[in-house]
Chains A and B, each alone.
Chain A
Amino acid sequence: MRLVADLIVGGLAAGALYGLMALGLVLIYKTTDVVNFGHADMAMLSTFIAYALHVQAGWALVPAVFGAVAFAALLGVLMERAVMKPARDRKATVLGLVVATLGMALILNGTAGIIWGHDVKSFPYVASGAPLQVGGVVIPRDQIFNLAVGVGLAAGLHSFFRFSNVGVAMRATISNRTAASLMGIPVSRMFVLSWAIGAALGAVAGMLAAPTLFLEPNRMVDLLIKGFAAAVLGGFTSMPGAVVGGLGLGLLENFVGAYVSLDLKDTFAFLLIVVVLAVRPEGLLGRPVRKRV
């Protein structure tokens, strides 16, 4: 029983990070129609910035984390303005846009390698201290913290879209680009904003995952695939779906690891992607996509 409780808590904590990755991916996809294959490398580079500020420049951890989030947002703006917009303006195809994000992933990955090398570095937990005991279940603080941050950011994003003017403008852009621009919404600025928010969410996920994954330019690819799996599970067009998909993936993966095979844990994300796409492409919460001919 205790084992089951541990698995649930650990699964949800990991799932919250997958959900954050998925949330950024879905937001960018919904607004700009681009699936960002550079998401993990953007998160990785931002985490390295936090590392540089905290360990190398001696900042306290919290300001370093916020600095890294700001950096991620700027990186998102740069991606949209310097790469995606020129590509879109020249009528790049879906494949072209995917390849452009892959190219950006390589550039960021190589840059991190040049600056910080490939020695594995450790990154501190934001929340540390003695584990909490809740009804006989021992819960490490960082797991509670991850879950709280994940759910909190998702809720914050939800109210942003619901209640703020900018959020409503973004939703308008998502639902109909032409109509939104006719209503005076600066659509291209909404694109930039969605890249900035998406990249910032990815950076948070990266920094929360870094203490357990350790920090090295190639270590966060896993997070990309998990983020994709979570997004696909949730439907890829639904932001609540991304969070639910992330938590679900974290749980499923932990139980597969414990009861089926630890070796299969990594391959599981791929199996899940294939099964969900084959059986129910709209995911748990997404709307079916109908293609006009």
Chain B
Amino acid sequence: MRDRVLQAAVAAVVALLPAIVPGYYLYVLTLGMIWAVAAVGLNVLTGFTGQISIGHAGFVGIGAYTSALLALKVGWPFWMTLPAAGFLTAATGWLLGVPALRLSGPYLAIATLGFGTAVSQVLLKWERLTGGYMGLKPPRPSLGSWTLAGDTALYYLTAGVLASMTLAATNLVRSPVGRAFVAVRDSEAAAQASGIDPARTKTLAFAVSAFYAGIAGALYAHMVGYVSPSDFNLLISIFLMSAIVIGGLASIPGSVAGAVVLTVGFQLLSGVRDLRTVVYGLALVLTVIFIPGGLWRATARWRAAGRQRIMVRPSVVEKDHAAS
């Protein structure tokens, strides 16, 4: 019951914000919600399935460039480029998931780190297609002759996409597929003994997670109206990882809250970049040491308690990753 009240309150606040908040902050909030889509996806992979990715900005970049190029070179409208970006990125995620199957823990972290840097380098070097460091200027989202140009319209569009993708993720992690994700995370052997195919489950998690990143990338490209390879570098991958670690691993609302709060902070501190880097680093280290479950769970006591029945354990990666 209190859940429903909380959800209704959040929905009301989100719907009414444009009336109160001035344009620039609305833009920042929209940006936060876009990164929240990517963070939810990353949490499906890392928090629920236990597969580390430190190259997730690479997926976001692939989605952003797919959507931008389809709009600019082929002339597709936004409502077609958005799902196209999602599905193409999902396919990439599935492909990366195949070699990643044999890796766990730190090895996977290294491979995905390499993937992320490789994507931004390819985007930079493949100038004929991507425009190199000059970047691309994709058009604003439009539906027929109606162009969503204003901050408010883009805000509602993003809020709508985020709400539906959050709902989908919440349902997914409670479905048999989501239970399989968690089972693979907690013990691959036990999952296999229960008839779950770990290989299929992991590649599926990669694909789902990349789909979210691709959608976020497409939203980002058309909302900001400009993409360049440096928008999706290692720092952004670490930023996404920070959002789910600080927000709460294996927590969907935690990822949304983490991403929105971190994005707002990121924009507010953009005048003092190096200080911001230090602050974000400190926040990461302190979270790992003192509140490994993340802020969302740390505040769970004064929210409706007793939910998240099986996902509470932040045991994310097999404990004996290298029993040698």
Binding site for B on A (CB under 8 A): 29, 33-35, 37, 83, 86-87, 90, 92-100, 102-114, 217, 221, 225, 228-229, 232, 236-237, 263, 266-267, 269-271, 273-274, 277-278, 281, 287, 289-293
User: Nearest residue in B to A83 (C-beta to C-beta)?
Assistant: B285
Contact partner of A102 (CB less than 8 A), chosen from B54, B278, B290, B319, is B54
User: Nearest residue in B to A29 (C-beta to C-beta)?
Assistant: B106
Question: Can you list 30 pairs linking A and B with CB atoms under 8 Å apart?
Answer: A35-B109, A37-B113, A92-B288, A93-B315, A94-B317, A94-B318, A94-B321, A95-B46, A95-B52, A95-B249, A99-B245, A102-B241, A102-B284, A103-B285, A105-B238, A110-B275, A111-B274, A112-B274, A113-B273, A229-B114, A263-B125, A270-B117, A277-B99, A277-B103, A277-B107, A281-B102, A281-B103, A287-B324, A289-B322, A291-B320
Q: Which chain A positions have C-beta within 8 A of B125?
A: 263, 267
A232 CA / B112 CA spacing, docked (Å): 13
The answer to whether A237 and B324 have CB atoms under 8 Å apart is yes
The answer to whether A232 and B110 have CB atoms under 8 Å apart is yes
The answer to whether B320 and A111 have CB atoms under 8 Å apart is no
A90 CA / B289 CA spacing, docked (Å): 7
**Closest beta carbon of chain A to B204's beta carbon, Å:** 19
Q: Which chain A positions have C-beta within 8 A of B315?
A: 93
Beyond A110-B275, A274-B114, A293-B189, list 7 extra A-B contacts (CB 8 Å).
A96-B292, A102-B54, A108-B281, A109-B277, A281-B102, A291-B321, A291-B323
The answer to whether B113 and A225 have CB atoms under 8 Å apart is yes
Q: Which chain B positions have C-beta within 8 A of A90?
A: 289-290, 292
User: Nearest residue in B to A117 (C-beta to C-beta)?
Assistant: B274
Q: A114-B278, A267-B121 are in contact. Are A93 and B289 (CB under 8 A)?
A: no
Q: Which chain A positions have C-beta within 8 A of B234?
A: 221
The answer to whether B277 and A95 have CB atoms under 8 Å apart is no
The answer to whether B105 and A94 have CB atoms under 8 Å apart is yes
The answer to whether B241 and A99 have CB atoms under 8 Å apart is yes
The answer to whether B289 and A83 have CB atoms under 8 Å apart is yes
Q: Which chain B positions have C-beta within 8 A of A105?
A: 238, 281
**Closest beta carbon of chain A to B249's beta carbon, Å:** 7
Say whether chain B's binding surface is mostly helix, strand, loop, or mixed. Answer: helix
Cβ of B211 within 8 Å of any chain A Cβ, yes or no, is: no
- Of A107, A270, A277, A290, the most chain B CB neighbours within 10 A belong to A270
Q: Which chain B positions have C-beta within 8 A of A99?
A: 241-242, 245, 284, 288
User: Nearest residue in A to B187 (C-beta to C-beta)?
Assistant: A293
Cβ of B111 within 8 Å of any chain A Cβ, yes or no, is: yes
Q: Which chain B positions have C-beta within 8 A of A232?
A: 107, 110
Q: Which chain B positions have C-beta within 8 A of A287?
A: 324
Contact partner of B283 (CB less than 8 A), chosen from A103, A108, A228, A269, is A103
Contact partner of B314 (CB less than 8 A), chosen from A93, A100, A225, A267, is A93
A113 CA / B320 CA spacing, docked (Å): 37
**Closest beta carbon of chain A to B95's beta carbon, Å:** 11
Cβ of B276 within 8 Å of any chain A Cβ, yes or no, is: yes
User: Nearest residue in B to A34 (C-beta to C-beta)?
Assistant: B106
A278 CA / B111 CA spacing, docked (Å): 10
A221 CA / B233 CA spacing, docked (Å): 11
Contact partner of B320 (CB less than 8 A), chosen from A104, A106, A281, A292, is A292
**Closest beta carbon of chain A to B243's beta carbon, Å:** 12
**Closest beta carbon of chain A to B90's beta carbon, Å:** 19
**Closest beta carbon of chain A to B96's beta carbon, Å:** 8
The answer to whether B324 and A100 have CB atoms under 8 Å apart is no
Cβ of B118 within 8 Å of any chain A Cβ, yes or no, is: yes
Q: Which chain B positions have C-beta within 8 A of A289?
A: 322-324
**Closest beta carbon of chain A to B50's beta carbon, Å:** 8
Q: Which chain A positions have C-beta within 8 A of B321?
A: 33, 94, 291
One digit per residue, 1 when the CB lies within 8 angstroms of any chain A CB and 0 when it does not, for chain B 272-309 equals: 01111111111111001110100000000000000000
**Closest beta carbon of chain A to B238's beta carbon, Å:** 5
Cβ of B27 within 8 Å of any chain A Cβ, yes or no, is: no
User: Nearest residue in A to B282 (C-beta to C-beta)?
Assistant: A107
Q: A277-B99, A281-B103, A290-B324 are in contact. Are A110 and B278 (CB under 8 A)?
A: yes
**Closest beta carbon of chain A to B234's beta carbon, Å:** 6
**Closest beta carbon of chain B to A174's beta carbon, Å:** 10
- Of A102, A237, A290, the most chain B CB neighbours within 10 A belong to A102
User: Nearest residue in A to B108 (C-beta to C-beta)?
Assistant: A277
Q: Which chain A positions have C-beta within 8 A of B245?
A: 96, 99
Q: Which chain A positions have C-beta within 8 A of B54?
A: 37, 98, 102
The answer to whether A96 and B109 have CB atoms under 8 Å apart is no
**Closest beta carbon of chain B to A231's beta carbon, Å:** 8
A178 CA / B324 CA spacing, docked (Å): 13
Cβ of B316 within 8 Å of any chain A Cβ, yes or no, is: yes
